[in-house]
Structure 1
Amino acid sequence: MTTIALNAANRSFSILGTFIDALDKAIKMAKAIRHDHPSADDVKRIRAIAETI
């Protein structure tokens, strides 16, 4: 029973870590672009971040 609980907890922490990484990358993407006038460099930065996902 303990093994099942530990496996479930491990999977939960893994999913939470993946979610936090994705959220961090989304925040970086939002900060990398100027929302009023995005430039080609902004788009390149967004694509570089998106490729790491």
Structure 2
Amino acid sequence: MSSNRKRVIIIKEKLKKLEEISTKNKEIRKYHHNFLPDDKETSASKFSEEE
């Protein structure tokens, strides 16, 4: 019984870490999604200026 409880605790800790990582990834995606259009516009304007 005690070994099973230890396994459950370890699995729960791993799940918590995975959830933290997934939430961080979601925040990063939101940040990139918000700024990608601006980056495309600036790169396009720079490219047209070089021509």
Which TM-score bucket, shorter chain as reference?
0.5 to 0.7
TM-score w.r.t. length of structure 2: 0.63
Deviation >2 Å, runs of 4+: none
Partner of 1:6: 9
Paired residue total: 39
TM-score by length of 1: 0.61
Equivalents in 1 of 2:16, 2:41: separation in Å?
A: 36
Which sections of structure 2, spanning at least 5 residues, go unmatched?
Answer: 44-51
Residue 17 (structure 1) aligns with: 20
Distance apart, 1:38 and its partner CA: 2.2
What stretches of structure 1 of length at least 5 have no aligned partner?
41-53
Q: Which amino acid aligns with 2:23?
A: I
Normalized per residue, which structure has more helix?
Answer: 2
User: What RMSD over aligned residues (CA atoms) do the two structures have, in Å?
Assistant: 1.7
Instruction: Determine which structure has more spread, i.e. the larger CA radius of gyration.
Output: 2
